[in-house]
Amino acid sequence: MNNEIGTRYDPANIETKWYKFWLEKGYFTPKKDGPKYSIVIPPPNITGKIHMGHALNITLQDILVRFKRMNGFKTLWVPGEDHAGIATQTAVEKAIEKEGKKREELGREKFLEIVWDWANTYRNTIKNQIMAIGASVDWTRERFTLDEGLSKAVKKVFVSLYKKGLIYKGKYIVNWCPRCKTVLSDEEVEYEEHDGKLYYIKYPFADGNGEIIIATTRPETMLGDTAIAVSPSDERYKELIGKEVIVPLVGRKIKIIADMHADPEFGTGALKVTPAHDPNDYLIGQRHNLEFINIFKDDMTINENGGKYKGLDRYQAREKIVEDLEKEGYLVKIEDIKHSVGHCYRCNTVIEPMLMDQWFVKMKPLAEKAIEAVEKGEVKFYPDRWKKVYLNWMYEIRDWCISRQLWWGHRIPIWYCQDCGHINVSEEEVKKCEKCGSTNLKQEEDVLDTWFSSALWPFSTLGWPENTSDLKEFYPTDVLVTGFDIIFFWVARMVMMGYEFMGKKPFNDVYIHQLVRDKFGRKMSKSLGNGIDPLEVIQEYGADPMRFTLALLAAQGRDIKLDIKNIDTSKKFANKIWNATRFIIMNLEDYKEIPLENLNLSDKWILSRLQKTIKNVTNAIEQYEFNLAAREIYNFFWDEFCDWYIEVSKPRLKTEEKHLVQNVLVTVLDNSLKLLHPFMPFITEELWQKLPTSGESITVSEWPKVNDELIDNSSEERFSLLMNIIKGIRNVKAEINIPQSQKVNITSNHDFTEEEKLYIRTLGNVENIKISDQKPEKSASAFVNNELEVYVELGNLIDIETEINRLSKKIEKLENDAQKFRTKLSNKKFLEGAPEEIVEEAREKLANIEEQIKKIKNIITSLK
């Protein structure tokens, strides 16, 4: 056995070594036997480095996959990347603009060559980052949303939906980004509060008798007004319904109509209707058969419908129109307001609603099975509250605009015949029109929304539309681990497409993980400069401490507040694991495997605690309670195994019990490293390989099983009592400033066994243990319950009066601190307004202070 182990934990020396070893051995590729377990990775966008949210997502999936692999499952975790249409094209355009180039000048073919080079570079970067985190994905099955197989799947799905009548082209009001020059889905629009203006404008009646006043935030859109709407219940305007007014500066006659969308409470209650440039106005226009007048080009300059304002950008036009309205007496007043404005989620440009020809998918027919699956529990959400969010969106689902005005992406498989106008739809390139035979064809310029290909990810990555062995064996997948922000973008669409094309759900469970925020609870962003780069964390602390920290903080339903100090704490834990293992390895001289018999109290206690830890960690992982699993193994290894059992075992290693103690130490360490492996794969592999019980790799070792015969509640209770007595002795020393190394005498009304006395002397630094029913003079209570009393004899170690005064002052200070928290927690505004975690933190701090006060009061009572 190689028992060489370094004096310090150095993650840089072990992480690359072991990842390479796992790949060479092929451990991440599923073996031929065992029940199947499969996950597909949410594919990161190829637009840059992964962030801490990705690190959390990857860590949680890896915990599940490594756990299942060790439990004998045939595991498959499929990796891959998303081509990220808008984001990637925007990034490449910005890059080539710095070189003085534009994509239009380069042409489609040359530009796409540049993007492919970009994609391959960043795919490799992302792959290396995922490896650095330790993800046990099967790289032999890596996929890309634009690879040949997925492109084939996308075309098949498009053609199938088109032939079923579920894909159509039509004019519709869409969100247009003038910077990216493409349409955005509703979910891709991010709203921000803006300081704006509300303009009150007179619209004179066509008969010359008076006017009606409207209020608008976008006066430039009046160039496309085709009606004024008022609420049918608004008494102020009932007599005016049907009258004609003149659009100022334009001269167009339009009618006043009654529509429920007009809000009597907003502005004047009269609403200008521009059906081509507002989604609500669009619906009014449809209901009342209004004219749709588009006033913008795709770069947001005014087109020929804008008269003398043609060529002006939208904000220049606004300025000029307001100036002209005031000059001609139409402007009544301007008010300052705050309102919500939509922005492009990629470039942050203010979007403009535009009436355009686009391709759409009819969603309601596809949504039916996807709704039923979640309602009946066929697909389950963890935490359960996300089920309601999913269903609410699905009940109100609207048709999905799938066309994007980009070059990078899946080009829509439509060919227009330039001679007869026929639309040819095909999975293969069309050479001649299927209707008239003409070869004069032009392919649709637009590409498909990135989410269209992502929606197929659970089955396209497994080889569909081919009937592959992977598809037969690993579909449906077992769980999807993802963030709440893409439930609508991705999760819902995968469920719909899974039922439509596979006739089955794409996954059994959906685990919605937390958002990683900074230590103050703020969202991490470039503008705030508060992001934490996982690669930098790995370089400084190692992958294992980062992973363990993320798991430890991953409580269901609560966002993660990540402080770098948390990772430092996990690094200390890694050091503890390293040093404990090193101590054990160094004390395995003449080791031989023997049965675990003739156990003493501490042996029975630690082995019983181990069984319960195995059970609790296993159950927590299976319920996606990652934080509880991490906390359980942390507490067991550090608090119970290291701080108690290893300490009591040290003197026994020099006695005839040596071989028994060695076997208990190795048994507990072996099982503990296995329990830790899904969370901290690198350090556990490095250390497990040093054990005499190790095998080929901890990655493919067997997950610990509970041995019910070793569960001993009686021994746990007895040893727990001793621990509390020893803690009490240490607490007395700490509170009255006696060094822990100082030996003290204790008195108890209970006669301990020789073994129990040994623990008390060794761990409490106790000289003598006296048995008496009388409390000694000048003593402090270390432990008191209904049957047992233990006192620390102070003798001449301290001045009693001085110590009582000091402790009384300490209580006074603690009481002041406690009162501050009591006041805060009795404040209704604080309880209702503060985030839940802040309130909980205040409660925990108050409880800790009150516990300190209780302990010190007991000591004072004893001293008196």
Q: Which residues are annotated as a binding site?
A: 526
User: Pick from 620, 507, 473, 475: which is nearest to 74 by CA?
Assistant: 473
- Distance CA(273)–CA(286), nearest Å, equals 11
Distance, in Å, from the CA atom of 793 to the CA atom of 743, rounded to the nearest integer, reads 11
Cis status of the peptide bond prior to 476, with omega within 30 of 0: yes
Q: Is 15 helix (H, G, I), strand (E, B) or coil?
A: helix
Amino acid at 638: W
Pairing assessment for the beta strands 36-40 and 74-78 based on DSSP bridges = parallel
Bond prior to 44 in cis (omega within 30° of 0): no
| Binding residue ranges for ATP | 526
Nearest one of 369, 464, 435, 434 to 160, comparing CA atoms: 464
Total count of residues recorded for the chain? 864
Rounded CA separation 330/213 (Å) = 9
Residue type, 778: K
DSSP state of 522: P
The whole-angstrom distance between residue 305's C-alpha and the CA centroid of its chain comes to 47
CA 862 to chain centre: 51
10: which 2 tokens?
């150095």
Fill in the DSSP letter of residue 798.
S
- Alpha-carbon gap, residue 511 to 494, rounded angstroms: 14
Q: Which two tokens stand for residue 826?
A: 């009795």
Q: How far is C-alpha 187 from the geometric centre of its chain's CA atoms?
A: 18
The percent helix, strand, coil of the chain (3-state, each to 5) is: 50, 20, 35
Q: Using CA atoms, how far apart are residues 569 and 576, in angstroms rounded to an integer?
A: 11
Distance of alpha carbon 114 from alpha carbon 57, whole angstroms: 30
Q: State the residue for tokens 């609403």.
A: 271
DSSP letter for each residue of 220-250: GGGGG--EEEE-TT-TTTGGGTT-EEE-TTT
DSSP 143-193: EETTSHHHHHHHHHHHHHHHHTT-EEEEEEEEEEETTTTEEE-GGGEEEEE
- Any idea which residue has 């040359």 for tokens? 110
Backbone phi, then psi, for 124, in 5-degree steps?
-65, -40
**Lookup result for tokens 């919500």:** 340
Q: Are 674 and 7 in contact (CB under 8 A)?
A: no
Place of tokens 């690993």: 474
For residue 336, the cross-strand partners are 197
Distances (CA, A) of 550 to 126, 570, 672: 20, 10, 19
DSSP annotation string for 760-797:
HHHHHTEEEEEE-SSPPSSEEEEEE-SS-EEEEE-TTS
**Strand 182-184 vs strand 414-417: parallel, antiparallel, or unpaired?**
unpaired
Query: Contact, 476 vs 507, CB < 8 A?
Result: yes
Residue 64 neighbours by CB distance under 10 Å: 23
Q: Could you tell me which residues come within 8 angstroms of residue 211 by beta carbon, excluding any fewer than 6 positions away? A: 202, 203, 204, 205, 245
H helix or E strand, kind and range, residue 214: strand 211-216
Burial class (CB in 10 A: 0-12, 13-18, 19+), 323: exposed
Report which of 492, 549, 509, 637 is spatially closest to residue 64, judged by C-alpha positions: 509
The Cα 393–Cα 376 span in angstroms is 17
